[in-house]
Amino acid sequence: MKAVGVAVVGAGYWGPNLIRNVQASPETTLQWVCDIDEDRARRVLGEGSPVKVTSRLEDVLNDPAVEAVAIATPARTHGEVAVPVLESGRHVLIEKPLAASFSEAEALVRLAESKGLVLMCDHTYCYTPAVIKIREIVQSGMLGDLQFYDSVRINLGLVQRDVDVLWDLAPHDLSILDHVLPEGCRPLAVAAQGADPIGAGRACIAYLTVQLSGGAIAHSHVNWLSPTKVRTTIIGGSKRTLVWDDLNPAQRISVFDRGVDMASPEEIDTDERRATAVSYRTGDMIAPALPEGEALRGVIGELAHAIREGRPALTDGRSGLRVLDVLEAASASLDYKGAVVPLRSAR
């Protein structure tokens, strides 16, 4: 089938990665790069590139060869760029977060749905081989009923000028959580605590706790100040526990047949029997083999397939909206010293 014509808006931090993958994918053809600094855009493309360059979004939208636009501009501008693109009838891929606020993102979702267009959020981690496998394992029921989800994303990171550590790092883990949760399990409320020990003016360390339906709990630790880099996620179920260590290329995923079993409630009728009702299970560990593949290539491929098939993308606008729901509730919780804040979707 004919490749999808794509324009990339923004050639700064993330834009070059999108440009490279749009050019490399057989599913897409790069038509334009739009950036306020045309010289920067040309440097990213390289000398002699046939791709057109402009600083005006109007030039992109006046070209009928452009079917989709990938937006990699600062989050505060996502809405003002995406609205005219959607109104022109083009599909949209937006770098995370989907927008600067839940209300702005909700307006984008409604606009895209009213026009029958694909609105996709670039939750890149969801297209890594590891997360693809984790989603398969969790949703297959292999782990049993979800009991807990614990993630750590810490390193000596760049202290951002316009957002706190929650808005910088937590979207990665929240998008993964949203992507892998089994059907019927959803976030209900959020509590967050943060600290700014270096006087940056915003939280540099944060702990986020999400209450999930069914009694499960999710917890995320994000930190710009750690001298060591840690990228781990542990997902515990009633049958097995999965451990994902993203910094261990030899064994990123391990599934342990270990856990705690409890006698059924009708079998526990006294305190003495309750004390002996717990048993510990120890079984095998398996480490699934993972294929190699660049996640962003998967993002671009999914965009093209969703457009051709007329369906929502795996990480569609509503998934971006759910992540923003948790982030805004977490920010409110920080303001209220860790108070539990219900999510909009649960009210």
What CA–CA distance (Å, rounded) separates 134 from 232?
A: 13
pLDDT of residue 146: 95
Q: Left, alpha or beta for 144 (phi > 0: left; psi -120 to 50: alpha)?
A: left
pLDDT of residue 158: 84
Tens-digit pLDDT profile for the chain (347 aa)?
A: 789 999 999 999 899 999 999 999 999 999 999 999 999 999 999 988 999 999 999 999 999 999 999 999 998 999 999 999 999 999 999 999 999 999 999 999 999 999 999 999 999 999 999 999 999 999 999 999 999 999 999 999 888 888 899 999 999 999 999 999 998 899 999 999 999 999 999 999 999 999 999 899 999 999 999 999 999 999 999 999 999 999 998 899 999 997 777 766 555 556 665 666 776 777 788 999 998 889 999 999 999 999 999 999 999 999 999 999 999 999 999 999 999 999 998 76
**Looking at the chain, how many residues does it have?**
347
pLDDT of residue 29: 97
Residue with token string 């480490």: 287
pLDDT of residue 283: 76
- From edge to edge, which strands make up the β-sheet containing 91-95? 52-54, 28-34, 4-9, 68-71, 91-95, 119-122
pLDDT of residue 276: 63
Q: Provide the whole-model pTM.
A: 0.91
Structure tokens at 80: 């003002």
Contact 6, 22 (CB under 8 A): yes
What CA–CA distance (Å, rounded) separates 196 from 223?
A: 10
How distant, in Å, are the alpha carbons of 21, 70, 71, 204 from that of 92?
A: 16, 6, 7, 32
Burial tier of 248 (Cβ tally within 10 Å: 0-12, 13-18, 19+):
middle
Other Cβ atoms closer than 10 A to 101: 17
pLDDT of residue 284: 82
Domains of the chain (ranges, CATH numbers): 4-124+295-325 (3.40.50.720), 126-294+338-346 (3.30.360.10)
